[in-house]
Every structure is written in structure tokens, then in C-alpha cells.
């Protein structure tokens, strides 16, 4: 195994990660939508049970 310090480096700015902001937006949007969906299903269950 080569020395960790000698390995070729892939700079973030060069970068396959130039989409990081849209990636972040996708993740946060997905998490919020999923949380809302789970909460809505839970609420529906309770309303149906008590209705």
C-alpha cells in the first residue's frame, strides 16, 4: 500500500462534486418530504382508528 501522503489527490474544487449544492438540496428536500409523508400516514391511521 502506498504512503497515504503520496497518493494522487482529487481536489473537491476540480471536481466531480461541483453539483454539491443541488445534491444538498436534493437530500434535504427528500428528507423533508419523507418526514412529512410518514407524519401524514401516522396521522391518518390515528384519525381512522379514532373516527
Partner 1 sequence: MWIRLRIADLETIVHYTGIFVAGIGAVMVVPLATAVLAAEWAPAMDYLLGIGVALVVGLSMALVRPAQHRITHAHALMIAAFSWLACSLVAAVPLAFSPNYASYLDAVFDALSGLTTSGLTVVSDLDHMAYSHNMWRHLTHLIGGQGIIVAALSLAIGLRGGAFALYLAEARDEKVLPNVVNTARFIWFVTAVYVAAGTAVLFVLNLVRGMVLSRAGLQAFWMVIAAYDTGGFAPQSQNQLYYHSAIFEIVTVTLMMAGTLNFNLHAAVWRGNRKEIFRNIETRTLAFSILAISLIVSLGLAATQYYDAVPSVIRKGVYHVFSAHTGTGHQTLYPSQWAGDFGQLAFIGILLAMGLGGGMSSTGGGIKALRVGLLFKAISNNVREAISPRSALVQTRYHHIRDKVLTPELTVSVLIFFTLFVLSYVTGTIVGTGYGSPLMDAAFESVSASANVGLSTGITGPAMPTGLKLLYIVQMWIGRLEFIAVLALFGYVLTALRPSRTS
Q: Which residues bind partner 1 (CB under 8 A)?
A: 1-5, 7-10, 12, 16-17, 19-20, 22-24, 26-28, 30-32, 34-35, 37-39, 41-43, 45-47, 49-50
Length of the chain: 51
CB of 41 to partner 1, least distance (A): 7
Minimum distance of partner 1 from residue 24's CB (angstroms): 6
Cβ 22 to partner 1 shortest distance, Å: 7
Distance CA 14, CA 41 (A): 43
Tell me whether residue 14 is exposed, middle or buried, using C-beta atoms within 10 angstroms of its C-beta: 0 to 12, 13 to 18, 19 or more: exposed
Amino acid at each position: 500500500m502506498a504512503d497515504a501522503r503520496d497518493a494522487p489527490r482529487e481536489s473537491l474544487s476540480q471536481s466531480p462534486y461541483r453539483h454539491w449544492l443541488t445534491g444538498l438540496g436534493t437530500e434535504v428536500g427528500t428528507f423533508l418530504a419523507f418526514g412529512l409523508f410518514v407524519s401524514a400516514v401516522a396521522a391518518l391511521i390515528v384519525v381512522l382508528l379514532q373516527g
